[in-house]
Amino acid sequence: MVPRLFRQRPASEPRGFVAASDADTSFYSAGVVQVKGVPLTGTIAACLGNYRYLVRAGDHEAICTLSGKKLKAYIWVTLGDNVVAELSPYNLTRGRIVQRL
């Protein structure tokens, strides 16, 4: 069965583009799962350039970038700052800094 992209326009409605209802387009949005990151609380150990930092938490190290909201709000981090990083669930050595503590 092919999902309907557009619904029939009643005669009382004006002509033009009419999108289908959400129930008709649920076929396309089904199965889309957003994967959450793994939180890590650590300390900035090194500045690597290009907004990349080495974050250490115990014996674990991750290369993290500064998130876009932090750059936009001019929130900078320096050596020794405590931060919360969100690690990629696919590669636990990469992530982004989401909060400075």
Q: Name the H helices within the chain.
A: 22-29, 68-72
Please name the helix (run of DSSP H) or strand (run of DSSP E) that holds residue 47, with its range, or none. strand 38-49
Confidence of residue 23 (pLDDT cuts 50, 70, 90): very low
- Please, are residues 18 and 7 in contact by the beta-carbon 8 Å criterion? yes
Q: What is the pTM of this model?
A: 0.65
pLDDT score recorded for residue 38: 92
Please report, for residues 18, 24, 65, 75, the alpha-carbon distance to residue 50 in angstroms, rounded to integers and kept in the order given: 46, 45, 8, 15
Which residue ranges form the domains of the chain, and what is each CATH number?
Answer: 38-100 (2.40.50.140)
Residue with tokens 């309907």: 4
Distance CA 62, CA 79 (A): 15
Give the pLDDT confidence of 82-100 residue by residue, as tens digits.
Answer: 999 999 989 999 999 999 9
